[in-house]
Amino acid sequence: MKYYLAYGSNLDTTSFYKRCPNAKLVTTATMEGYKLSFKRLNELSNTYLTIEKDESSEIPIAIYKISTEDEKALDYYESIHTNLYYKVETELLLHNQRVLTLTYIMNDSSIYGLPSDDYYKLVKKGYMEHDFDIKYLEEALQRSKKWVNKND
């Protein structure tokens, strides 16, 4: 079993457990040094959440234990075969122990975009389920709106 760090649509446990039936929620936490961003690969692609390094920011996260089968399902869902996301390992302090967690970050060439209403609602549902502050999502959305308006 591995640890998986969720920050976006996989916070919605209903859809997450359909993809990853062996997964178990370990805890929720805040990860410092990152911010949420709504991004896409190009003007024609859909917009999803990713995380970007930002020393002055933090994001709420959920940590799951996942099986090898769950990891394969996540690889497919996160479209690593199309280079939309790539998989990274991040070291976190969990219950006073350093552990490696895997997560997915969008391709570096991605640009800011606006998410569909359905996607935003799905992520917001996960935030509410875990009692996370919606301000993180709202800040990411405002940054994207500002960028999109400036570049139209």
| pLDDT tens digits, 27-36 | 999 999 999 9
Most confidently modeled of 34-48, 82-96, 128-142?
A: 128-142
SS3 47: coil
Whole-prediction pTM value? 0.91
Could you tell me the pLDDT band of residue 37, with boundaries at 50, 70 and 90?
A: very high
Cα distances from 89 to residues 4, 5, 92, 112, 115, in angstroms, run 9, 9, 10, 24, 26
- Residues 56-111: pLDDT tens digits? 999 999 999 999 999 999 999 998 888 888 999 988 887 788 889 999 999 888 89
CB distance 1 to 68 below 8 Å: no
SS3 sequence of 3-38: EEEECCHHHCHHHHHHHCCCCEEEEEEEEEEEEEEE
Angle among Cα 31, 34, 27 to the nearest 5 degrees reads 20
Q: Which CATH number fits domain 2-150: 4.10.320.10, 3.30.2350.10, 3.40.50.1970, 3.10.490.10?
A: 3.10.490.10
**Quick one: pLDDT at residue 55?**
95
Quickly list DSSP for 68-108: HHHHHHHHHHTTGGGTSEEEEEEEEEETTEEEEEEEEEE-T
**Quick one: pLDDT at residue 114?**
94
**Quick one: pLDDT at residue 152?**
62
Element (H, E) at 48: strand 48-66
Q: Which residues pair with 25 in a beta bridge?
A: 64
